[in-house]
Amino acid sequence: MFTFDIVRGGTVRAVLEESRSDVVDIVEATYVDHHAGRSVNPRSHFLRFPEKPSSRIIALPAHLGGEHATAGIKWIASFPDNVRDNVHRASAVLILNDYATGFPVACLEASQISAARTAASAVLGAEQLTGGRRADRVLLVGAGVLGRTVVDYLAARGWEFGQVAVTDLVTSYADSLRTYSEDLGYRSKVVEATRPEMSDADLIVFVTTAGEPWVFDPDTFAAGQTVLNISLRDLSPDIVAGARNIVDDVDHCLTADTSPHLAEQRLGHRDFVDGTLAQLLTGERKLDNDRPLIFSPFGLGVLDLAVGRHVHRVASELGLTVEIPDFFGETERWA
């Protein structure tokens, strides 16, 4: 009863690669559960470092009720300077707790879980905002691990593109993602991050490490264009204010100086938020396409829980977990 499992990164990757479409379905169901109040998702807690202002470690505690009956926490570090040494920016672990006793039951490598749930969220947002799974041209702004994962999940959902354009401050990264996209069957090219390139795309995906807005021109995006604001801090408040805005959770997204949070500070209200992704999924909200359509997902801990629970269950069924039976030392108060 009181065993503790380790799920290594290679196992996590293998499970996720075989279940991308399932992950999207899991994320969709979790958004609906969260919207219906079947979850507890406190605000994320940020650990910052005065000597390293671009770096942070974030704790995302959460509880999923209903049939999930699980709790846990993701502890994820973001150190952007790592990429200069060809090291991943993000690293993470996820702890799953038994709901009956509160005891931790598993520790999973979670940077891949985090990327998977974020990419699945992006794909769901794209499908809801565009009304389909096709775009003549998609522009990926940022060519890191998350950009690659978004491409994987778009492909897994059967998205069709006339062209995939990729841009990054480091040309070699953009070239790598272009090649990766081509290997998946998409006609791809590397471009500059200019206003004409952004204006020419039907679907724009921001997956950068930007700490503050750098896209300022309020006329950058046209009515009906879909913008996935995944990295959350690329767009100026004026761009957000002039768009139709969907978020994953209003209170969570309008915090930590995200673009929507900066817009709230500028305007003094939240009226520019048109609804949540769950409201689109349930049909409670519909969007006009008279403005650019922006989806800004802050990232909810309940999504990590749901995807992590799936990975742990599959890994356990396949005998791929590392069990540590004596992890707790003792569990009885009195022997």
Domain of 259, CATH number, reads 3.40.50.720
Full-model pTM = 0.94
330 located within any domain: no
Return the DSSP state at 265. H
State the burial class of residue 288 (Cβ atoms within 10 Å of its Cβ: 0-12, 13-18, 19+): exposed
pLDDT digits (tens, 9 = 90+) for 198-223: 999 999 999 998 989 999 999 999 99
Residues 241 and 312 in one domain: no
44 domain residue, yes or no: yes
What is the sign of the dihedral through the CA atoms of 293, 298, 303 and 308? Answer: positive
pLDDT mean across residues, the chain: 95
User: 120 lies in a domain?
Assistant: no
Residue 159 and residue 76 in one domain: no
Q: Is 87 a member of any domain?
A: yes
CATH code of residue 71: 3.30.1780.10
Residue showing tokens 């041209």: 137
In a domain? residue 329: no
Q: What CA–CA distance (Å, rounded) separates 16 from 315?
A: 10
141 found inside a domain: yes
Q: Which two tokens stand for residue 4?
A: 């503790």
One domain for residues 171 and 269 = yes
- Identify whether residues 308 and 271 lie together within a single domain: no
Look up residue 85 and give its DSSP letter.
G
> Which spans in the chain are helix H?
9-17, 20-35, 111-130, 145-156, 171-183, 195-199, 237-241, 250-253, 259-267, 277-281, 301-317
In a domain, residue 331? The reply is: no
At 1 the pLDDT is 67
Residue 253 lies in a domain: yes
Nearest-5° angle of CA 94, CA 96, CA 102?
A: 140
Rounded CA-CA distance 195/45 in Å is: 35
191 and 228 share one domain: yes
166 and 215 in one domain? Answer: yes
Q: Is the domain of 292 the same as that of 246? A: yes
Number of structural domains in the chain: 2
Give, for all 335 residues of the chain, the pLDDT tens digit. 688 999 999 999 999 999 999 999 999 999 999 999 999 999 999 999 999 999 999 999 999 998 888 999 999 999 999 988 989 999 999 999 999 999 999 999 999 999 999 999 999 999 999 999 999 999 999 999 999 999 999 999 999 999 999 999 999 999 999 999 999 999 999 999 898 999 999 999 999 989 899 999 999 999 999 999 999 999 999 999 999 999 999 999 999 999 999 999 999 999 999 999 999 999 999 999 999 999 999 989 999 999 999 999 999 999 999 999 889 988 888 97
Residues 212, 268, single domain; the answer is: yes
Range of the domain at 57: 4-113+301-324
Q: Are 276 and 305 part of one and the same domain?
A: no
- Same-domain status, 236 and 203: yes
Please give the distance of CA 327 from its chain centroid, rounded to a whole number: 32
**Judgement on whether residues 82 and 158 belong to the same structural domain of the protein:** no
Same domain? 135 vs 282: yes
